[in-house]
């Protein structure tokens, strides 16, 4: 790689990182000091940082229980997503009558405004007997169209020769999906995990509507209730934001290596 192109790359990326980071820095700083919410000019360095807001949040709500609720729901969502989306993505790599319709149907499902679906979704979930439950919270999120298409693209990139030879050897289709295609689509799986986790972890409106029990609350909900009296104005809100954010980042970090091209696929993708 030529030197000045390397330089330019680093410069561009660093600038972008800076722009992306400024809000985070401020989020973190305010969560540690609670300053500058009402005063001016903004101080660049934190003055007297303390973790009081975090401690407050931890003790003011049944933090661990809410955390567990969120974890359970997200786990269900992630597993269901990978299985369902991979299946659907694979189906879409094949040619069949009505494929165009299915694709348009899937795309049009994305166009439905989410907030307009919560009431009928509530009624449906009630009929299914899943109100106030982890499964009920997870169900609407168990498949996502974005990920279906990503699996479709990843599977489509698997060399035909591999599939054909497997078919000739009489390998059943489902084994082709799970033994050949998925392992070669690490990146799509990783993305699926990250996206499914984020969308279920941050889900707010749906749990709000279907949960009644205090001990079923998910983390964002539980923390939001804790903050309601202070009208979202103190450093506690910022601490809340950071606390809800961290697991998502951790998941992404763990999924990082799947985005490195060539490591797993170079040898097998012709």
Q: Which CB, 64 or 97, lies closer to another protein?
A: 97
d(CA 52, CA 32): 8
Q: Which CB, 48 or 261, lies closer to another protein?
A: 261
Closest contact distance (angstroms) between CB of 56 and another protein is 13
Closest contact distance (angstroms) between CB of 250 and another protein is 10
Closest contact distance (angstroms) between CB of 219 and another protein is 10
Q: Which CB, 16 or 51, lies closer to another protein?
A: 16
Q: Which CB, 20 or 64, lies closer to another protein?
A: 20
Torsion of CA 137, 238, 196, 67, to 10 degrees: -50
Closest contact distance (angstroms) between CB of 189 and another protein is 10
Closest contact distance (angstroms) between CB of 51 and another protein is 18
Q: Which CB, 27 or 68, lies closer to another protein?
A: 27
d(CA 181, CA 167): 13
CA distances (Å), 85 to each of 89, 143, 149, in order? 6, 6, 8
Closest contact distance (angstroms) between CB of 142 and another protein is 5
Q: Which CB, 64 or 100, lies closer to another protein?
A: 100
Closest contact distance (angstroms) between CB of 72 and another protein is 18
Q: Which CB, 50 or 256, lies closer to another protein?
A: 256
């Amino acid at each position: 790689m030529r030197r000045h192109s390397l330089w330019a790359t680093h410069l561009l990326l660093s600038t972008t990182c800076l722009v992306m980071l400024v809000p985070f820095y401020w989020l973190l700083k305010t969560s540690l000091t609670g300053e500058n919410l009402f005063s001016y000019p903004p101080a660049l360095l934190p003055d007297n940082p303390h973790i009081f807001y975090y401690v407050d949040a931890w003790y003011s709500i049944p933090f661990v229980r809410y955390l567990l609720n969120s974890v359970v729901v997200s786990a269900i969502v992630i597993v269901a997503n990978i299985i369902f989306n991979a299946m659907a993505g694979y189906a879409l790599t094949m040619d069949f009558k009505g494929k165009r319709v299915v694709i348009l149907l899937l795309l049009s499902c994305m166009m439905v405004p989410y907030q307009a679906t919560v009431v009928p979704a509530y009624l449906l979930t009630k009929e299914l007997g899943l109100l106030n439950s982890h499964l009920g919270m997870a169900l609407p999120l168990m498949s996502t169209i974005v990920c279906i298409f990503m699996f479709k693209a990843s599977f489509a990139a698997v060399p035909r020769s591999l599939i054909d030879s497997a078919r000739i050897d009489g390998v059943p289709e489902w084994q082709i999906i799970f033994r050949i295609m998925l392992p070669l689509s690490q990146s799509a799986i990783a993305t699926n995990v990250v996206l499914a986790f984020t969308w279920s972890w941050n889900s707010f409106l749906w749990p709000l509507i279907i949960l009644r029990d205090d001990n079923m609350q998910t983390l964002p909900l539980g923390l939001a209730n804790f903050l309601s009296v202070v009208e979202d104005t103190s450093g506690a809100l910022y601490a809340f934001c950071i606390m809800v954010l961290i697991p998502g980042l951790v998941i992404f970090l763990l999924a990082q290596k799947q985005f490195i091209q060539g490591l797993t696929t170079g040898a097998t993708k012709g």
